[in-house]
Amino acid sequence: MCKVTQIAFVLALCCGFCFDVNKFRRPPWEGAISNTMNIRKPKVWAPVLESKTRADGSILIRRVDPLRAYPEAITACIAHWADVAPERTWMAERGADGDWLRVSYAELRNVVTRVGQMLLDADLSVERPLLILSRNSLEHAIMALAAQHVGIASAAISPAYSLVSTDHEKLRAVIGQITPGLVFTQSGSEYRTAIEAAVPASIPVVCVTDPFAGRAVRLWDNVVATRPTEAVAQAHAAVTPDTVAKFLFTSGTTGSPKPVIRTHRMRCANQQQVRDCFAFMADEPPVLVDWAPWNHTASGNKLFNMPLYNGGTYYIDHGRPSPDGMAETLRNLREIAPTWFFNVPAGVELLVHAMEDDAQLRENFFSRLNMLMYAGAGLAQHTWDRLVELSQEMRGAQVLMTTGLGATETGPFSLYCTQPQARPGNVGISAQGVEMKLMPADDKLELRLRGPNITPGYWRNPALTAAAFDEEGFYRLGDAVRYAEAGMPERGFFFDRRIAENFKLAPEPGWPSVRCGQSCWTSWGASCAMPSSPARTRQNRAHCWCRSGCGCARLRLTPRPRPRSRCWRIPECGPQWAEGQRPMLRLRPDRRHASPMSS
User: Which tens digit of pLDDT belongs to each residue from 356-412?
Assistant: 999 999 999 999 999 999 886 778 899 999 999 999 999 888 899 899 999 999 999
The closest alpha carbon to 37, from 422, 383, 380, 366, belongs to 422
Tens digit of pLDDT for each residue in 202-224? 999 999 999 999 899 999 999 99
**Cβ neighbour number for residue 197 with a 10 Å cutoff:** 15
In a domain, 88, yes or no: no
In a domain, 260, yes or no: no
In a domain, 95, yes or no: no
Peptide bond into 200 cis (omega under 30): no
Residue 125 has φ and ψ, to the nearest 5°, of -165, -175
List the CATH number of the domain containing 481.
2.30.38.10
Sequence-distant (6+) residues with CB within 8 A of 576 are 535, 536, 538, 539, 540, 541, 542, 559
Residue 168 has φ and ψ, to the nearest 5°, of 55, 30
The C-alpha atoms of residue 579 and residue 148 are separated, in whole angstroms, by 44
- For residue 189, the SS3 value is helix
537 in the Ramachandran plot: left (φ > 0), alpha (ψ -120 to 50) or beta?
alpha
Tens digit of pLDDT for each residue in 165-184? 999 999 999 999 999 999 99
* Domain end residue (candidates: 375, 400, 425): 400
* Domain end residue (candidates: 344, 365, 400): 400
Sequence-distant (6+) residues with CB within 8 A of 399 are 40, 366, 369, 370, 371, 372, 387, 391
pLDDT the model gives residue 423: 87
Q: How confident is the model at residue 590 (pLDDT cuts 50, 70, 90)?
A: very low
Residues 130 and 23 in one domain: no
- With a cut of 50, say whether residue 559 has pLDDT above it: no
In a domain, 254, yes or no: no
Is the Cα dihedral 221, 226, 228, 231 positive or negative? negative
Tens digit of pLDDT for each residue in 72-92? 999 999 999 999 999 999 999
**Cβ neighbour number for residue 451 with a 10 Å cutoff:** 28
Residues 225 and 133 in one domain: yes
In a domain, 79, yes or no: no
* Mean predicted confidence (pLDDT) in 252-257: 70
* Domain end residue (candidates: 479, 498, 517): 498
Dihedral over alpha carbons 386, 372, 157, 410 (to 10 degrees): 120
Lowest mean pLDDT: which of 258-262, 390-394, 595-599? 595-599
Residues 285 and 358 in one domain: yes
Tens digit of pLDDT for each residue in 309-340? 999 999 999 999 999 999 999 999 999 999 99
Report the chain's mean pLDDT, rounded to a whole number.
81
**Cβ neighbour number for residue 85 with a 10 Å cutoff:** 16
In a domain, 287, yes or no: yes
pLDDT the model gives residue 147: 98
Please answer whether residues 60 and 85 qualify as being in contact, where contact means their C-beta atoms are separated by less than 8 angstroms: no
Residues 545 and 582 in one domain: yes
pLDDT the model gives residue 253: 60
Tens digit of pLDDT for each residue in 448-464? 999 999 999 999 999 99
Please answer whether residues 174 and 199 qualify as being in contact, where contact means their C-beta atoms are separated by less than 8 angstroms: no
Residue 534 has φ and ψ, to the nearest 5°, of -60, 155
Residues 494 and 511 in one domain: no
The C-alpha atoms of residue 108 and residue 486 are separated, in whole angstroms, by 49
Residues 513 and 480 in one domain: no
Residues 425 and 384 in one domain: no
pLDDT the model gives residue 42: 85
Residues 380 and 432 in one domain: no
Instruction: Compute the 3-state secondary structure of the chain and give helix, strand, coil in percent, each to the nearest 5.
Output: 30, 25, 45
Tens digit of pLDDT for each residue in 111-143? 999 999 999 999 999 999 999 999 999 999 999
Residues 190 and 204 in one domain: yes
* Mean predicted confidence (pLDDT) in 26-51: 61
Residues 214 and 120 in one domain: yes
User: Percentage of the chain surpassing pLDDT 90?
Assistant: 70
Residues 295 and 334 in one domain: yes
* CA-to-CA dists, residue 136 to 308, 318, 485, angstroms: 16, 8, 41
In a domain, 555, yes or no: yes
The C-alpha atoms of residue 501 and residue 594 are separated, in whole angstroms, by 14
List the CATH number of the domain containing 162.
3.40.50.980
Which residue range forms the structural domain that includes residue 180?
A: 104-239
In a domain, 252, yes or no: no
Q: How confident is the model at residue 575 (pLDDT cuts 50, 70, 90)?
A: very low
Number of domains the chain is built from: 4
Residues 386 and 489 in one domain: no
Burial of 554 (0-12, 13-18, 19+ CB in 10 A): buried
